[in-house]
Amino acid sequence: MPASPGGADGVILEAIEKLGVDYKFDDFSQRSINGDSLQVPASFQIITSNRFKRKIVVSNRAINAD
């Protein structure tokens, strides 16, 4: 597993940013990041545009694995 302070989610976000892909978090994750909710999600749900079809897998976390 690559070392990252953000864990597997951090590695996936870094890869997406380097690819230049627009992304956002789901509503629950975004409320936690903004400080509007005290509940912390077990894992952040990353939403990419429908045009991004690559599958990125880091450890047990994946994006576009459908």
Mind listing the pLDDT tens digit for each residue in 4-25? 787 888 888 999 999 999 999 9
Average pLDDT over every residue of 24-36: 91
What's the confidence (pLDDT) of residue 16? 92
Residue pair 13/37 in contact (Cβ under 8 Å)? The answer is no
State how far the Cα of 55 lies from the Cα of 39, in Å rounded to an integer. Answer: 28
The answer to whether the predicted template modeling score (pTM) of the entire model surpasses 0.85 is: no
pLDDT attached to residue 1:
56
* Nearest C-alpha neighbor of 26 from the set 45, 1, 3: 45
